[in-house]
């Protein structure tokens, strides 16, 4: 699985630590990890709004399979991500959240709070979140007696999202293009996206913004 980490300006100072924990856990499990920014406070500037755009482009182009995102509270990145078609993002404050999202919702993105409640041993909490997010079979439901309705509802939710959030490029073209240009302007994002993008229409759209 290909996993992208993306963080916004207010929490960029924590990126090196989060990336190290993600690489230790997910990399140790054989997953490929891409750190698409912000790698520090001087990196290409991103807000949580840009993180949602990045998630849409990376997931819908199949450049990556999963997004780890977040902001101070995790709420902004969560809402910005779930605005877009093809992005099913969960909110994660502790390891049990990651486990339950993995088993019940089986989405493709997690938003973490990197300021709220992030104190002593914060890096351990992040590590254990990643362990629960990327180990075990996904979508098996929890608890056992609720497996069948949970799997059915997760499928229905994805169908509803696909119905109301349709074309990726058209949806991005409908918003301020300066927002999208800023989201795709970083070198790390472009390296990950163009090396792994599998949808030519989305690649051409991103190229047109950069050119």
Domain ranges in the chain?
2-210
Q: Give 87-105 pLDDT, tens digit per residue.
A: 999 999 999 999 999 999 9
Return the structure tokens found at 134: 């990327």
Rounded distance between C-alpha atoms, residue 194 and residue 54, angstroms: 13
| Nearest Cα to Cα of residue 186 among 63, 66, 43, 81 | 43
- CATH code at 2-210: 3.40.1400.10
Q: What is the pLDDT of residues 152-170, one digit of tens each?
A: 998 998 899 888 888 999 9
**Residue of 161, 163, 204 whose CA lies nearest to 57:** 204
pLDDT at 162: 86
**200 token code pair:** 């030519």
Could you read off the pLDDT of 114-158 as tens digits, one per residue? 999 998 999 999 999 999 999 988 888 888 888 898 889 989 988
Q: State whether residue 68 is helix, strand or coil.
A: strand
pLDDT exceeds cutoff 90 at 211: no
- Do 47 and 17 touch, CB atoms closer than 8 A? no
Higher pLDDT, 20 or 120: 20
> 25-77: per-residue pLDDT in tens?
999 999 999 999 999 999 999 999 999 999 999 999 999 999 999 999 999 99
User: What is the spatial distance between Cα 130 and Cα 94, in angstroms, rounded to a whole number?
Assistant: 10
Q: What pLDDT is attached to residue 144?
A: 82
Q: Which two tokens stand for residue 137?
A: 């079979």
What's phi and psi for 66, nearest 5 deg?
-150, 145
pLDDT at res. 158: 87
Structural contact between residues 97 and 67, judged by C-beta atoms closer than 8 angstroms:
no
Tell me the pLDDT tens digit for each residue of 24-38: 999 999 999 999 999
Tell me the pLDDT tens digit for each residue of 169-206.
999 999 999 999 999 999 999 999 999 999 999 999 99
Q: Which residues contact 62 (CB under 8 A, 6 or more apart)?
A: 196, 197, 198, 199
CA-based angle 59:60:63, to the nearest 5?
55
Predicted pLDDT of residue 163: 87
Q: What pLDDT was estimated at residue 23?
A: 98
Q: Give the span between the Cα atoms of 14 and 157, in whole angstroms.
A: 33
């Amino acid at each position: 699985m290909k996993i992208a980490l993306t963080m916004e300006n207010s929490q960029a100072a924590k990126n090196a630590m989060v990336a190290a924990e993600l690489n230790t856990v997910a990399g140790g499990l054989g997953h490929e990890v891409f750190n698409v920014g912000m790698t520090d406070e001087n990196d290409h500037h991103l807000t949580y709004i840009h993180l949602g755009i990045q998630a849409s482009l990376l997931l819908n182009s199949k450049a990556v399979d999963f997004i780890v995102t977040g902001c101070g509270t995790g709420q902004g990145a969560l809402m910005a991500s779930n605005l877009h078609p093809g992005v099913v993002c969960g909110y994660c404050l502790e390891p049990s959240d990651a486990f339950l999202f993995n088993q019940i919702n089986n989405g493709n993105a997690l938003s973490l709070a990197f300021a709220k409640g992030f104190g002593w041993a914060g890096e351990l909490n992040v590590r254990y979140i990643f362990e629960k997010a990327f180990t075990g079979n996904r979508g098996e439901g929890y608890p056992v007696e609720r497996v069948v309705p949970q799997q059915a509802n997760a499928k229905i939710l994805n169908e509803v999202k696909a119905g109301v959030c349709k074309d990726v490029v058209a949806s991005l073209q409908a918003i301020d293009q300066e927002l999208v240009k800023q989201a795709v302007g970083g070198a790390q994002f472009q390296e990950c996206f163009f090396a792994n993008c599998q949808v030519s229409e989305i690649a051409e759209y991103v190229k047109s913004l950069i050119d």
